Amino acid sequence: MAHLVYFLLLSSLLFHFVAEAKQLYNVADYGAKSDGHADSAAAFLEAWAAACRSTEQGTVYVPGGSFVVSHAAFSGPCRNGRVTVQIDGTIVAPSGYGLSGENAEWLAFDGIEGLSINGGTIDGRGASLWACKASGGNCPSGAKSLTIRNSKDVSITGLTSVNSELFHIVIEDCQGVTVQGVKITAPESSPNTDGIHVQGSDDVTITAAGIGTGDDCISIGPGTTNLWIERVNCGPGHGISIGSLGKGYDEKGVENVTVKTTLFTGTENGLRIKTWGKPSDGYVRGVVFEHALMQNVQNPIIIDQNYCPNSRGCPEEKSSGVKISQVTYTDIRGTSASQVAVDFDCSKSNPCSGIGLQDIKLTYGNKPADASCKNAGGTASGFLVPPSCL
């Protein structure tokens, strides 16, 4: 009997110690309602503030249920080494498109060192805004669902993001970010619903993601360095894109990007680099694309240096100043939905250099596809279908 009492006392002390060491801040305790109607933004922000100012590592906990949250900006720095946001339920945007505005953000984390976001679902409820845009109405631009900015040592694991008005996840001006096991979905017709956008950030890793949207599955913006993308299934969508780059003259470049073991199904593009056809001092260099499977992809491999949507904002004689070099494609195979499966349309004033092709097998209608090269130089080796045009 004495042993049992001792065991129960020890268990109680251990539980108390763990609870104290990892403080739990349940949003429901701060007034959040899981009824799918009441705005719980204030409760979420109060729970965050309590966790952030604590000297102990803590967890902001979102229990099961549906919590409506309007704009919420979670700011740092925090006093402890790490704050975890554990989502077991669903965070839902307000109905309509009340989140929208110029460059609006729905859920934003800014200036935090040591942040984990785990599990759960965020639902941007973007359908009404997409319908407005499709009708040609006077619509706001929309809101990005989850933004991580000016932060270090961040992990996003097992999160599901659905129906964002604009980009689903944005990583901007960050260092040391891991995104693992996320699922991102929006209809193929939804405009500008990029899955993950990385910009101005260093040392970002994206693995084991399933992304299907109306725009790029992953888009890579200026100032991105040391980006690793692996085991990503993309479709529908516009593929994995570096760019568009070079819209502004003094834009930062993109360097050291690896994209490997990817699957593209019915996408508009596979592996794409696109730059504006205008002067720029930007660059793309040190890019590795390898082990990709294309299934009925419109443009499996494409470099487009004459990007100028609606022919606005570009010189009459388009020529991109972005310098593209040292880009390799290895073990890219599958089916193209167009005759030209490899399309290098590079800048006349700044030709692509150091392009590498190795072991490519892309077919169109059970026949070898074609390749097209403009202002592109490099080397080719191994089994090549279509034959290299470099």
Q: How far apart, in whole angstroms, are the C-alpha atoms of residue 123 and residue 212? A: 15
Q: How many CB atoms lie under 10 A from the CB of residue 332?
A: 25
Return the structure tokens found at 42: 């204030």
Please indicate whether residue 215 is annotated as part of the active site. Answer: yes
Q: Please provide the size of the chain in residues.
A: 390
Give residues with Cβ within 8 angstroms of 8, minimum separation 6: none
Q: How far apart, in whole angstroms, are the C-alpha atoms of residue 60 and residue 289? A: 38
Phi-psi map region of 367: left, alpha, beta (phi>0 left; psi -120 to 50 alpha): beta
Q: State the alpha helices, DSSP H only, in the chain.
A: 2-21, 41-53, 127-134
Do residues 52 and 76 make contact, with C-beta atoms less than 8 angstroms apart?
Answer: yes
**Options 215, 216, 304, 345, the catalytic residue:** 215
> Residue 8 has what DSSP assignment?
H
Give residues with Cβ within 8 angstroms of 175, minimum separation 6: 151, 152, 153, 201, 202, 203
Q: How far apart, in whole angstroms, are the C-alpha atoms of residue 238 and residue 266? A: 9
3-state secondary structure of 370: strand
Whose CA is closest to 157, among 127, 179, 132, 130?
179
Q: Do the strands 83-87 and 66-68 form a parallel or antiparallel pair, or are they unpaired? A: unpaired
Q: How far apart, in whole angstroms, are the C-alpha atoms of residue 49 and residue 270? A: 42
**Options 238, 304, 343, 345, the catalytic residue:** 238
Question: What amino acid positions are annotated as catalytic residues?
Answer: 215, 238
